[in-house]
Amino acid sequence: MARRGGDWVYENNGGTCVAIAGADYCVVAADTRLSVGYNILTRDHSKICELAEKCVIASSGFQGDIKALQKNLSAKELLYQHQHNKRMSCPAMAQLLSNTLYYKRFFPYYAFNVLGGLDSEGKGCVYSYDAVGSYERTGYSAQGTGSTLIMPVLDNQLKSPSPLLVPARDAVTPLSESEAVDLVKDVFASATERDIYTGDKVEIVVINKAGTRREYIELRKD
Amino acid sequence: IFEYNGSAVVAMVGKNCFAIASDRRLGVQLQTVATDFQRVFEIHPKLYIGLSGLASDAQTLYQRLVFKHKLYQLREERDMKPETFASLVSAMLYEKRFGPYFCQPIIAGLGQDDVPFICTMDCIGAKELAKDFVVSGTASESLYGACESMYKPNMEPDELFETISQALLSSVDRDCLSGWGGYVLVVTPTEVTERVLKGRMD
């Protein structure tokens, strides 16, 4: 098992990841701080990995496991490309990630993931995971140390039905792309104030029909 | 033990006014026992205390505080200032340092010249004064995030009511131990408005 006597093999490197799905875009954002305990190891570490053309994963948790997981997924995606002569779609990657995580059910990846991208119809999709692969397609999600601070604000602001409403309705938000990016900047600013593991910079990746663009916004460094 | 009954309390400062709000659920771990439980109590018309944490300790603490305040009123022939009251609560909690009351109080009041005052403390009396908002209870992390995003300084009473209600309802919706609506009190130098909110009834 993961713990034997005193050997605790995991560590939480902190950080927060957020993703929001729109009608024809998807915003995935994560802060760039890497910490261990009360120390900061670096202010410039990306938690986001582009797995396929329209599919991006952001993970927070134990960076050792996250690096391994992202490498594993990239390799599987490459194999898929060779075998099927096309890149993996976002829903396919979502299932692959779930299976990869569950494969290590009894010695899990300490990784809290958020997968974002465009599905085969070009609509935004966000998939949210727990550490052992349970996943759900939602309109927005936050994972990591700042997730409890951010989720209520996203529930309140995104006019799309939250996963809490029954019956489940179409999950994408009617907000425009720039409004969604502004919302992400605001929530990260708030989370930075109150969560010690979140801060330094936020890397925002926006995926839409035209392609993928990246921007960096400065956050409080304390 | 702080998560035995479930609670969410928040207070915010506006322009010459303050608002204090709480959820209404009383549970015994996962079972809901009451949906109209009062957590915010009046000490005098310009001073209120919200007690989150173990419900039994919250009620006992409230009864002891009212008792002490009534004696103060008899001796000094006036109401206690919020700053003084906060020190009183802090001292009472620290008396029980090695067998504490499992409560996290939030004190909100209008002090000298009707300047709004809010503060919170941990279960053994460490005071934390704030100029903007204070939160406590099982939903405190969610409340921190929501309040931080929604708060702005110098809000009028109506806007303050809207802000605190939205922050409270969104935060308790992400916490299974608190909810069943909200109870908001907005206090200005001239009037006190009590409102009950209907949220997700779970």
ipTM of the complex: 0.81
| B166 in contact with A, Cβ within 8 Å | yes
What parts of chain B have a pLDDT lower than 70? none
- Domain around A114: 16-218
Other Cβ atoms closer than 10 A to B94: 13
Residues 128-167 of A with CB under 8 A from B: 146, 148-153, 155-156, 162, 164
pLDDT of residue A69: 94
CB nearest to B142's CB, from A151, A164, A193: A151
Whether residues B149 and A164 touch (CB distance < 8 A) is answered with no
Is the pLDDT reported for residue A162 higher than 60? no
Which whole number is the average pLDDT over A6-35? 91
Q: Could you say which of A150, A162, A164 has the minimum Cβ distance to residue B145? A: A150
Residue of A148, A162, A164 lying closest to B145 (CB–CB):
A148
Contact B173 A155 (CB under 8 A): yes
Residue A62 lies in a domain: yes
Residue A196 sits at the chain B interface (C-beta within 8 Å) = no
pLDDT for A196 equals 93
pLDDT score for A167 = 63
Distance CA A152, CA A194 (A): 14
A94 falls within a domain: yes
Neighbours of A123 (CB within 10 A): 17
Residue in the structure block whose two tokens are 């996250």? A66
Residues of B with Cβ-Cβ distance to A152 under 8 angstroms: 142-143, 145-146, 167, 170-171, 173-174
> What is the per-residue pLDDT across A181-222, written as a single tens digit (0 to 9) for each?
999 999 999 999 999 999 899 999 999 999 899 999 999 888
A10 domain residue, yes or no: no
Number of domains in chain A: 1
Per-residue confidence at A174, pLDDT binned at 50, 70, 90? confident
If you average pLDDT over residues A157-167, what whole number do you get?
A: 63
A199 touches chain B (CB under 8 A): no
Q: Nearest chain B Cα to A186, which residue?
A: B149
Question: Which one of A140, A154, A156 makes the best mutation probe of the B interface by having the most chain B beta carbons within 10 Å?
Answer: A156
Domain-located, residue A196? yes
Predicted local distance difference test score (pLDDT) of residue A168: 57
Residue A155 within any structural domain of the chain: yes
- Residue B86: which of B62, B108, B59, B116 has the closest Cα? B108
A37-83 pLDDT tens trace: 899 999 999 999 999 888 999 999 999 999 999 999 999 999 999 99
CB of A120 within 8 Å of a chain B CB? The answer is: no
- Note whether A186 and A202 are within 8 A (CB): no
- Both tokens assigned to B124: 């053994």
pLDDT per residue as tens digits for the range B54-83? 999 999 999 999 999 999 999 999 999 999
The verdict on a CB contact (< 8 Å) between A194 and B171 is: no
Q: What is the mean pLDDT of chain A?
A: 89
Checking if the pLDDT of A172 tops 90, the result is: no
pTM summary value:
0.84
Whether residue A8 is predicted with pLDDT greater than 70 in this model: the reply is: yes
Tell me how crowded residue B3 is: count the other CB atoms within 10 A of its CB. Answer: 14
B190 touches chain A (CB under 8 A): no
Q: Dihedral angle at the C-alpha atoms of B146, A146, A16, A147, nearest 10 degrees?
A: -70
Q: Quick check: is A208 in a domain?
A: yes
B-chain residues within 8 Å CB-CB of A187? 145, 149
Q: Angle of helix B157-172 relative to helix A147-157, nearest 10 degrees?
A: 120
Cβ contact A93:A83 at 8 Å: no
- What CATH number did the domain enclosing A165 receive? 3.60.20.10
- Cα–Cα distance for residue pair B103/B24, rounded to 1 Å: 16
In a domain, A84, yes or no: yes
Decide: helix, strand or coil at residue B115. coil
Residue A8 placed within a domain: no
Q: How far is CA B200 from CA A177, A198, B6, B158, B172, in A?
A: 29, 30, 16, 22, 9
Q: Which of A120, A78, A71, A125 is nearest to A100 (CA)?
A: A71
Q: Is A175 on the interface with B (CB under 8 A)?
A: no
